[in-house]
Chain A
Amino acid sequence: MSETTQSIKRPGAATGSWYELATRHRASIVAAVILVFPMVMPFTALAVNILIYGLYALGFNLVFGYLGLLSFGHAALFGTGAYLCGIAIVHFGWPWYAAIAAGVAGGLLMALLIGVLAIRTRGIYFAMVTMALSQCVYYLFYQAVDLTGGENGLRGINVRTIDLFGLRIDFINPMTRYYVIAAFVIAAFFVMSRILASPFGAVIEAVRENEGRARASGYDVTLTRLLTFVLSGGFCGLAGALQALHLSIVPIEILHYETSGLVVMIALLGGMGTFFGPMIGAAVFLVLENVVSVWTVHWQLIVGAIFIACVLFFPAGIWGTLIARGRR
């Protein structure tokens, strides 16, 4: 959060309160939690999923929570990151770090393409246009069978070891795999914290709060929106690339609009426009999904019902509600 927004918020919270401490060291807190997380979470595969979807939701939240635009097309950014990372490994034999870079670049580029078109529309159109464009990306990847494997998905992304400065890390061991992915996720959280604390981060929130006033203050609202959307694409592309490495396959469903809806649910459940919300949302959502799907195959019914209840009664989400309680 920027200096200006902090000075606005300061009178509300008592100095030195837990909330302010948490805000100042937010990225370090996330890092600490992620590092000890596997010790309380017995299923490492689930823990890795939580990391990846938390990162995906973090990128989405930049647009939804901080910029105030509801995108229903983030699957295209996530999926493009995954596919580009996979294609770089399978078809071009790139090393793992270059493949991750390709995934991030793919997310950024796709966000630029979608953003340029979608930003032209106002308000409620944005959700519809992003959803329609991501559906278009789905069909394009579906058709490019030679490159993407089409309906069968992209198979054979086998990264067994991670070579780093002469060090050879076993990527098949679930625990080391978790910490390799965790390193990227933690880095992304630090970058996000930095972006939000920068003057640009303040402009993002200014555009959300009052578009007219931001424009009158001399900020280019359209450019801010586009840049934020592209940045969000970078985070989601990274999440997608990590997902490709984790699953060693990219299923075509990754581009389906349900993947876009999933991140909306996660962000809203955790608390939109909050720093910790996406990670909390991902953890709660995925644990819930695991628990409920043991009990019934119709977990979508439960998930949908919980989401409806959230929209009706807890629109601030888990973390947002906690903050509101803490401030009182």
Chain B
Amino acid sequence: MAGLSFDLIALQLFAGLALGAIYVLFAIGLSLIFGMLTVVNFAHGAFYMVGAYVGLYLISIGGNFWICLVAVPIAIGLFGLAVERVLIRPLYGRGIDYPLLLTFGLSYVMVECVRIAFGKTGYPFDTPEILQGAVDIGVGYFPLYRLFVIGATAVVLLALWLFLEKTSFGLIIRAGARDPQIVRVLGVDVSKVWLIVFGIGTAIAGFAGLLAAPLQGVIPEMGGTILAEAFVVTVVGGMGSIGGAVLAGLLVGVVVSMTSLFAPEMAKVSIFALMAVVLIVRPQGFFGRAGLMS
């Protein structure tokens, strides 16, 4: 424990925020889809993983990281649209467990397809050259790429907030999350809204996978681990609440980061302990209400 200074703790806090940013992106997609469609997307981890692999593929055929930042969410979002339209739509109104089971089966198919296309072993993912190195953030040198992850997450969150709060389509989404029946009575085609929300949610998952790739490399199983951890985030933050997902995602990231400083072997267990505490004290989570953005 020698040399455990304030600076080190502050740096670790920032590392936790960068890790938390990935959780936030993953969990808001999950939360957005649940808040609107009441579908727990068990394939969310698979979309995240495919996002990283699409990025890997685009770079291998001569693209660069910046093209990926735009192309990956679009590709994964389009794929998400197809999945909602073909597989999930027939299950609406058949009980809340069925879409969950279906997406679980889908995650098997997606992981195995990636194994067939790219092999079972993982690949390293190079950090783009401009983002390599570290910058002085006052308390010490911090990897530039992690700062970029935090910044990119903030941009996505801001864009999502503006979209949901300031556009008329966002208004329909928020209304649909509150009461889909009334929205339908008002003449809005709710199924089209659900389609688009699923597309947005999966696009953000693909984006998160791409951002996470340079931090941890890509393997076909990368989605499974983060899925369980994202469930912790949604339980802690409150399912269907975007504000909750942001706060809880950052909190989980910081908790993991801090425990790995003091007791590395307990880092993975600590977030589940956090969930246990929240379940005992406040079972509905920080912002656990039915409505979206409320």
Task: For the complex, give the distance between the alpha carbons of A140 and B231 in Å.
Answer: 18
CB contacts under 8 Å to A, within B147-171, are: none
A301 touching B90 by the CB < 8 A rule?
no
A308 touching B276 by the CB < 8 A rule?
no
Contact with B along A55-88 (1 / 0, CB 8 A): 0000000000000001000000000000000000
Contacts of B40 in A (CB 8 A): 124, 127-128
A124-B239 CB under 8 A given contacts A139-B269, A301-B109, A307-B108:
yes
From A120, A123, A305, A308, B279 is in contact (CB under 8 Å) with A120
From B87, B96, B104, B116, A301 is in contact (CB under 8 Å) with B116
User: What distance in Å separates the Cβ of B263 from its nearest Cβ neighbour in chain A?
Assistant: 11
Q: Which residue of A lies closest to B95 (CB)?
A: A315
Contacts of A120 in B (CB 8 A): 279-280, 283
Contacts of A310 in B (CB 8 A): 105
With an 8 A cutoff between CB atoms, is B224 at the interface? Answer: yes
From B87, B115, B229, B265, A308 is in contact (CB under 8 Å) with B87
Contacts of A135 in B (CB 8 A): 228-229, 272
Contacts of B269 in A (CB 8 A): 136, 139-140, 143
With an 8 A cutoff between CB atoms, is B69 at the interface? Answer: no
With an 8 A cutoff between CB atoms, is B78 at the interface? Answer: no
CB contacts under 8 Å to B, within A289-308, are: 298, 300-301, 303-305, 307-308
With an 8 A cutoff between CB atoms, is B234 at the interface? Answer: yes
CB contacts under 8 Å to B, within A249-268, are: 257-258, 261, 264-265, 268
Contacts of B265 in A (CB 8 A): 143
Contacts of B109 in A (CB 8 A): 300-301, 304-305, 308
CB contacts under 8 Å to A, within B263-294, are: 265-266, 268-269, 272-273, 275-276, 279-280, 283
A127 touching B100 by the CB < 8 A rule?
yes
Q: Which residue of B lies closest to A272 (CB)?
A: B97
Task: For the complex, give the distance between the alpha carbons of A308 and B115 in Å.
Answer: 19
Task: For the complex, give the distance between the alpha carbons of A55 and B104 in Å.
Answer: 23
Q: Which residue of B lies closest to A308 (CB)?
A: B105
User: What distance in Å separates the Cβ of B105 from its nearest Cβ neighbour in chain A?
Assistant: 4
With an 8 A cutoff between CB atoms, is B192 at the interface? Answer: no
Q: Which residue of A lies closest to B100 (CB)?
A: A127
With an 8 A cutoff between CB atoms, is B235 at the interface? Answer: yes
A304-B108 CB under 8 A given contacts A117-B280, A120-B280, A129-B279:
yes
Task: For the complex, give the distance between the alpha carbons of A298 and B113 in Å.
Answer: 9
Q: Which one of B38, B111, B112, B235 has the greatest number of beta carbons of chain A within 10 Å?
A: B112
How many residues in A have their beta carbons less than 8 Å from beta carbons of B? Answer: 37
Contacts of B105 in A (CB 8 A): 265, 304-305, 307-308, 310-311
User: What distance in Å separates the Cβ of A288 from its nearest Cβ neighbour in chain B?
Assistant: 14
A312 touching B283 by the CB < 8 A rule?
no
With an 8 A cutoff between CB atoms, is B142 at the interface? Answer: no
With an 8 A cutoff between CB atoms, is B106 at the interface? Answer: yes
Task: For the complex, give the distance between the alpha carbons of A117 and B273 in Å.
Answer: 11
With an 8 A cutoff between CB atoms, is B188 at the interface? Answer: no
With an 8 A cutoff between CB atoms, is B101 at the interface? Answer: yes
A300 touching B100 by the CB < 8 A rule?
no
With an 8 A cutoff between CB atoms, is B258 at the interface? Answer: no
From B107, B113, B231, B239, A132 is in contact (CB under 8 Å) with B231
Contact with A along B191-234 (1 / 0, CB 8 A): 00000000000000000000000000000000010001101101
Q: Which residue of B lies closest to A299 (CB)?
A: B112
B280 touching A123 by the CB < 8 A rule?
no
A300 touching B228 by the CB < 8 A rule?
no
| Closest 5 pairs (CB-CB, A-B) | A304-B108, A136-B272, A307-B105, A301-B112, A304-B109
Q: What are 13 residue pairs bridging A and B, where the CB atoms are less than 8 Å apart in the complex? A: A118-B279, A120-B283, A124-B34, A124-B239, A125-B239, A135-B228, A135-B272, A136-B268, A264-B101, A304-B109, A305-B109, A311-B91, A312-B90
On B, residues with C-beta under 8 Å from A are 34, 38, 40, 87, 90-91, 94, 96-98, 100-102, 104-109, 111-113, 115-116, 224, 228-229, 231-232, 234-235, 239, 265-266, 268-269, 272-273, 275-276, 279-280, 283
